[in-house]
Amino acid sequence: MTIDAPAKVNLTLRVLGRRPDGFHDIETLMAPLDLADRLEVELKDSPGIEFSCSDPSLPVDGSNLVCKAVGAFAAATGREFGVRTHLEKRIPHGAGLGGGSSDAAAVLKALNELLGVGLSVEELEKIAASIGSDVAFFIRGVPAICRGRGERVEPVEGVPSAEILLVKPPFPVSTAWAYGAWAAAEKSLETFPAMLGSIAMVNDLESPVFSKHLQLPVLKRWLATQPGVCAAMMSGSGSTVFAVLEGVAEDVGERVRKEFGERFSVWRCRIAY
């Protein structure tokens, strides 16, 4: 079967503190986008996994979350099977858009259907949480508030299906580094955060990430002042900064390239669910 694995943006991200297990407690509102990776998943006669990817810079061994998802599904269900998977990569990695986590969730859903296991959404979310912090969010694929280290998922209503412009600078940001830097960073509250309807858009990781990658606060401020942009914020741990569009905003992406250069990648998409 072929299955899409959507990207996400964090509309809010509050870091509440470091946990004894080394992770951080967070509260974040995430929303899926119609920008998506595509996975082809098929069962094969011999056991094991064959995995290939259109992006040669990504690992195709057991360190990839796709392979980890196959192993986690087998361990949780007690099934022995062989699977062949190809990932057509469209979501940039190291971008704060959850591409790897979404790929893992897509594989879990595909295997559940192909093998006829019949696991519930809640059971799939439990397996997903064992793979990575954001993976459980992508099982349902709807806007949700995620708590704990991100594995406790509570779907929410009322998130507008806004048009989004993603801007990815020519460098990634390590999620582990960003959270580690948050612990040492000076904490600041946005007194007047940008609003998306009733949602106050605040990202606690902006402060430590912006202090290292100085192009990012410049990009955010520039986007927020452009005609047709009603809000701008970094997604997750970065490096992507996104703008919420409204009205006439046809040429914002072209203006980004002229202002910041062709090495800045731009995608136009929507919050979709």
Q: Which residues contact 41 (CB under 8 A, 6 or more apart)?
A: 1, 2, 3, 83, 84, 85, 107, 110, 111, 114
User: What token pair was written down for 260?
Assistant: 């910041």
Contact at 8 Å (CB) between 44 and 35? no
Which entry of 37, 103, 134, 204 is annotated as an active-site residue? 134
Q: Is 8 a catalytic residue?
A: yes
Q: Is 134 a catalytic residue?
A: yes
- Please report where in the chains the tokens 């006669």 appear, as a residue: 45
Helices marked H in the chain? 65-77, 99-114, 121-131, 137-140, 175-184, 206-212, 215-224, 252-260
Q: What is the rounded distance in angstroms from the CA atom of residue 121 to the CA atom of residue 264?
A: 37
> 150: which 2 tokens?
């991100």
Exposure class string for 175-194: b at 16+ Cβ within 10 A, else e: beebbebbeebeeeeeeeeb
Burial of 20 (0-12, 13-18, 19+ CB in 10 A): exposed
Catalytic residue among 8, 89, 168, 220: 8
**Active site (catalytic) residues:** 8, 134
